Chains A and B, each alone.
Chain A
């Protein structure tokens, strides 16, 4: 592959790095740390997509991923003895569908709210889901959740083994990211940009602003669901802890760390988050992970408006102003 091609498409470098990672990382790093970062990144991508394209901030994405996770859990063999067992492709399909519908529902209920109000109503919906699943024992098995879920074995390959699972997480992340970047350039993307910058004019021009928003939430819901399905396989169980207020806050933290105004910031944030989670211990006492993450978060919010991806963009512009990526970053800033 000619390097020039790579320079023109810097994202391909990232994909390449992802594909090559198993060659250098141990099983734990590939199957647990990196896979987890990709999953969290995919879920956070659903948030950065909403924010970067349509200017919508949602606290409900962890909940939406949870809807997909619970659907999958209820339709898969489990040791808890709840739900109905169906073939796994059907279960995954249903999970993605339910998650997308949940996203649509969030968009529909919150259609009249924006800014911090939107943040709060989505938080409320997320917390409602938490109380529903933690207090309903008949369907969701309450506080204890659904245990003993396994990723399927396809053609003799256990999808939960480190390498196949990493491959799956990477594929999901790359496809989701590519879809978001592609959508950004379509007319639909432009309409969402318009929705972010001048919502009233969108309506004046004859576009259906309400429908646009709901579709955006649906797309975000689908992406979150992809993350939710993988996350359920990853942890082998589904419990209210996956949709509680801490999960919602963590996802927002990840998105803001990476840079909520760039879709790919999600992955940057997720990698940072997972590394901090594993290595906060060597910086400070093992128990004080939250302190570290809180301080890092404050610093990012105060001093790096666009998070780590913003910092990288600045660095790129600074180092190589003629670079295509640099010019795009500049226009982006002008637009914002």
Chain B
């Protein structure tokens, strides 16, 4: 009997621990990024963006205090959902900014449908179907998707560089497929040809056998690899005597790769790529953003990455909409959500105006860049062209774009 009483007392004690404390009338903002595993640096940079945005508003909107709750995933969709659940159910977040990577985005979007009275704003995840097909009414994306991130690249490669026949090498999953789709929308329409597409399994480290397969007569090789894989590929390509110029995706020569340590970097100067940020952007708002970033995070990257940027503009959008509704989250957040859907980030955006389409997907500028080296030896991306107001259907009619079907290894074809 004594034991039973003990158990009951114990349970009560535990329950006291488990029940969440009463919350003041403030707004709780959850931030979900990848702080574990190989993407840890990217996730860290994303959270820097969230903090910078909140700091801009002094953590207050319309007299209400904004409390930031951070949570970490590991780039796996199931963990992203579990952590989002924790933010909503345990930490009582009203709004969640995140996640970071594609698979996570789709999973969180699906979860969002089950809690319509909460609002979800994407971090940097770039899968098309997060907003393109079967979107969640309470999921917003103020960043571009994988295909949009290649806008401008295909036409620049065709028109300015004169590439007519290229080979593609990319990792075998949806993000590179989508990026190729974005590239092809311009390049193939103009009449460019793709001689060969090589899809290598995720996790491949030695690309030399694939490099040996590349045709000799191509004008350029379009590389869709990121992080360590990009470093390995670039090294092996030049060591194998590769001479055709390279075109990069939005992650092939971004700051995380350009900040890596190794001799491969001497070779990438002049390499073409495209993405939502460019280090050399002269827009005063970008310069202001970079300076604020460097001041607050002296141990951060040389220049804010697309992750810091994505989380920054997403948080800004949330704050702007909150300000508009005076921090009113009542009525199951319906007023706030309607305001958010109409929110345009213009005066605050470091990378040109951002607005949403009917699926709550961003329409924004994208940058075509070339890698250059500063006198102090560091590497950066230099703008060669800006694609203005890129929409999710890449300028096509929505129905026609949807009829192309999801991007895959061979879809859409290049003709």
Please determine whether A137 and B409 come into contact, CB atoms closer than 8 angstroms: yes
Residues 139-173 of A at the B interface (beta carbon under 8 Å): 142-145, 147-148, 160, 162
Q: Is B110 an interface residue (CB 8 A)?
A: yes
Indicate if the CB atoms of B81 and A3 lie closer than 8 Å: no
CB closest chain-B residue, reference A158? B114
User: A328: CB under 8 A from chain B?
Assistant: no
B74: min CB distance to chain A, Å: 8
Chain A binding site: helix, strand, loop or mixed by DSSP? helix
Residue A242 at the chain B interface, CB threshold 8 Å? yes
CB neighbours of A287 from chain B (8 A): 35-36, 40, 72
Residues of B within 8 Å of A, CB-based: how many?
47
| Cβ contacts under 8 Å, A79 to chain B | 106, 110, 129, 133-134
Chain A residues near B86 (CB, 8 Å)?
Answer: 28, 32, 278
The total of Cβ contacts below 8 Å across the A-B interface reads 116
Contact (Cβ within 8 A) B102 A144: yes
Question: Bound complex: CA of A300 vs CA of B201, how far in Å?
Answer: 37
Interface 9-residue window, one of A18-26, A103-111, A113-121, A218-226: A18-26
B19, B77, B114, B409: residue with the most chain A Cβ atoms closer than 10 Å:
B77
Is there contact, CB below 8 Å, between A241 and B78? yes
Q: Which of B1-9, B179-187, B270-278 contacts A (4 or more CB under 8 A)?
A: B1-9
With A237-B78, A241-B78 known as contacts, the answer to whether A147 contacts B70 (CB < 8 A) is no
A178: interface (CB < 8 Å) = no
- A3-39 CB mask vs B (1 if < 8 Å, else 0) is 1001100000100010011001111110110001000
Interface string of B97-114 (1 = CB under 8 A from A): 000001100110011001
List the B side residues contacting A235 at CB < 8 Å: 77-78, 81-82, 107
A189 adjacent to chain B (CB < 8 Å): no
Tell me if B's interface is mostly helix, strand, loop or mixed: helix
Asked if B77 and A147 sit within 8 Å, CB to CB, the answer is: yes
Residues of the B chain whose Cβ atoms lie less than 8 Å from the Cβ of A48: none
Number of A interface residues in the complex (CB < 8 A): 43
Residues of B within 8 A of A25 (CB): 15, 18
- The smallest beta-carbon distance between A202 and chain B, in angstroms, is 40
Expressed in whole angstroms, the Cα–Cα distance for A26 and B19 within the complex equals 6
What are 11 pairs between A and B in contact, CB < 8 Å? A7-B3, A13-B7, A29-B90, A32-B85, A32-B86, A36-B82, A135-B172, A145-B103, A148-B134, A236-B81, A239-B77
* A contact residues vs B (CB 8 Å cutoff): 3, 6-7, 13, 17, 20-21, 24-29, 31-32, 36, 79, 81, 131, 134-135, 137, 142-145, 147-148, 160, 162, 231, 234-237, 239, 241-242, 278, 286-287, 289-290
